[in-house]
Amino acid sequence: MAKAKYEMRRKCPICNSVFQIRSIDSVYCSKQCSDIAYKRKKDCLIHE
């Protein structure tokens, strides 16, 4: 994973908080939000 050489902020799609990214490919603000997204995707695949 590449580290950001400058400050960049994104909005978390789960909790809508604005956070400073630690790497270019960061999507979620925390492990907790990442886990919630994983469970939602997993549940969606089960119901299809």
pLDDT at 11: 97
pLDDT at 5: 65
Per-residue tens of pLDDT for the chain, all 48 residues: 666 567 899 999 999 999 999 888 999 999 999 999 999 998 887 766
Q: How far apart are CA 20 and CA 42, in angstroms?
A: 27
Backbone conformation region of residue 12, classed left if phi is above 0, alpha if psi is from -120 to 50, else beta: beta
Q: How far apart are CA 37 and CA 6, in angstroms?
A: 27
Q: How many residues does the chain have?
A: 48
The alpha-carbon radius of gyration of the chain (Å, integer) is: 13
Helix, strand, or coil here: 33? helix
Parse the chain into domains and list their residue ranges.
9-47
pTM of the model: 0.75
